[in-house]
Amino acid sequence: MNRRNFITTLAAGALAAPHVSVAAPTAPPAAQPATDALPTGKIGSLTVSRMLLGGNLLTHYTHSRDLKYVRNLCAHYNTPDKIMETLALAERHGINTLVIHNPPPAMSVLTKYRQQGGKIQWIICPTAPVTPDMKAYSEMVKQLVDLGCEALYLWGVRADPLAIEGKVDLIAQAVEVAKEAGVPSGVGAHDLAVITACEEAKVPCDFYIKTFHHHKYPSGPRPEQLKGAVAEQPGYWCRDPQKTIEVMQNVTKPWIAFKIMAAGAIPPAEAFKYAFTNGADHALVGMFDFEIAPDVALMKSTLANLGPRQRPWRS
């Protein structure tokens, strides 16, 4: 099937069935060992592939800017069965870790996949609110660890406003909740203020997940847009790439870079080289199943021919 037929078929399905079923997968694939390993690093006690599978396409949370149909299209393609296939395919190509948030339908699929023998590790950002009593957040952390989550991190959507409002103490409390649950505990960020605040306060997180990409793409931000809030400017998620490089240079904790392709606007080969040359230790990559094999091949080539880095590997 060529690309045009593929898109036509998907679009027809989207029009015919606007409501997406979230029924449990009926025929999960058997887990298979990786046929060819990716380079790895260490985050806490975990061995993590340099390339991680991003969860946004699996939860249909597509940052598609003003293209409103894309999320519905993604939901019709990434059904529970297709997500199972995608996880198995990622494992077979050496991706040993998934990063995702925790909507109930996604967690149901992940649990089913693991019951069928899937080994891919979960790094999950709980979506519960972070409040001074930490009650809801602590309860969700416990639930996720009981399900088998291998690592947790504070969602950037929560961390960004906390850092901007000077509430780094709540970020630290969220980190401690996950550490007390016995898993590596990280902090996510879109805004660089999160990283600087955590470093200044010596928040004892085990890793960071921080957006990182250049602005040299057609829908990239214009200089005047950079004065506004990130959430108000669709099309970019790393406000100041050069400043990010400079700040992360002095950070000794592992750094997982995400949004490295600016949600599909930057070609993978270009994004991979930019992220790793400029200091990232791991890259979080959202992929459909048919993108996994070529993207893994590109990642292996990128890492094998990377050349010198100014920032030492931190994992």
Tell me if 32 is assigned to some domain. no
275: phi then psi, degrees, rounded to nearest 5: -65, -45
Q: How deeply is 309 buried, as exposed, middle or buried, from its count of CB atoms within 10 A (0-12, 13-18, 19+)? A: middle
Share of the chain above pLDDT 90, in %: 69
Tell me if 249 is assigned to some domain. yes
**pTM for this predicted structure:** 0.86
**CATH code of the domain in which 168 resides:** 3.20.20.100
Burial 273-291 (b: 16+ CB within 10 A, else e): bbbbbbbbbbbbbbbebeb
Residue 182 tokens, joined: 């016995």
Considering only 6-10, 87-91, 126-130, which range has the smallest mean pLDDT? 6-10
- In this predicted structure, the answer to whether residue 228 has a pLDDT above a threshold of 60 is no
DSSP 183: S
Tell me if 221 is assigned to some domain. no
What number of other Cβ atoms are within 10 A of residue 268's Cβ?
Answer: 19
198: phi then psi, degrees, rounded to nearest 5: -65, -40
Tell me if 28 is assigned to some domain. no
Tell me if 313 is assigned to some domain. no
Calpha distance 116→294 (Å, rounded): 26
Among candidates 205, 216, 218, 212, which has minimal Cα distance to 174?
Answer: 205
Residue 64 tokens, joined: 């598609």
**pLDDT of res. 23:** 45
Share of the chain above pLDDT 70, in %: 84
Q: Containing domain of residue 122, as a range?
A: 45-214+226-304
Tell me if 261 is assigned to some domain. yes
At 136-161, the pLDDT tens digits run 999 999 999 999 999 999 999 999 99
Number of independent structural domains in the chain:
1
What number of other Cβ atoms are within 10 A of residue 3's Cβ?
Answer: 8
- In this predicted structure, the answer to whether residue 6 has a pLDDT above a threshold of 60 is no
Instruction: Report whether 60 contacts 71 (CB < 8 A).
Output: yes
**pLDDT of res. 79:** 92
Calpha distance 311→247 (Å, rounded): 10
At 30-72, the pLDDT tens digits run 455 555 689 999 999 999 999 999 987 787 777 777 777 877 8
**pLDDT of res. 24:** 45
At 262-278, the pLDDT tens digits run 988 899 999 999 999 99
Tell me if 37 is assigned to some domain. no
Tell me if 202 is assigned to some domain. yes
- In this predicted structure, the answer to whether residue 91 has a pLDDT above a threshold of 90 is yes
State the alpha helices, DSSP H only, in 78-186: 80-92, 104-115, 135-147, 156-164, 168-180
